[in-house]
Amino acid sequence: MRVTQAMLSSHTLRYINQGYNGLARLQDQLVTGKKISRPSQDCHCNERDALSYRSNRDRAV
């Protein structure tokens, strides 16, 4: 398989972007002092909310 300059550039930029995103996430954690600063960062939170909603709904009925 041929490796073109465009492929090398694309992969390099992707990895640089991933590094910057990780750095931004870590800086956010340092500034806020919290590991999770947005609800979207906690996938288990959504499951807990759904289960508690379901159990509360069942009790009300």
pLDDT for residue 61: 59
* pTM tops 0.75, yes or no: no
Structure tokens at 1: 């398989």
Judged by DSSP in three states, 37 sits in: coil
Average the pLDDT over 54-58 and give the result. 68
Please, where are the H alpha helices in 1-61? Answer: 5-32, 43-60
Residue 3 has pLDDT above 80, yes or no: yes
Taking CA 13 as the corner, what is the angle to CA 7 and CA 19, rounded to the nearest 5 degrees?
140
Rounded mean pLDDT of the chain? 82
Residue closest to 45 by CA, chosen among 37, 17, 14: 37
- Tens digit of pLDDT for each residue in 8-41? 999 999 999 999 999 999 999 899 888 776 666 6
Evaluate whether 27 touches 19 at the Cβ level (below 8 Å): no
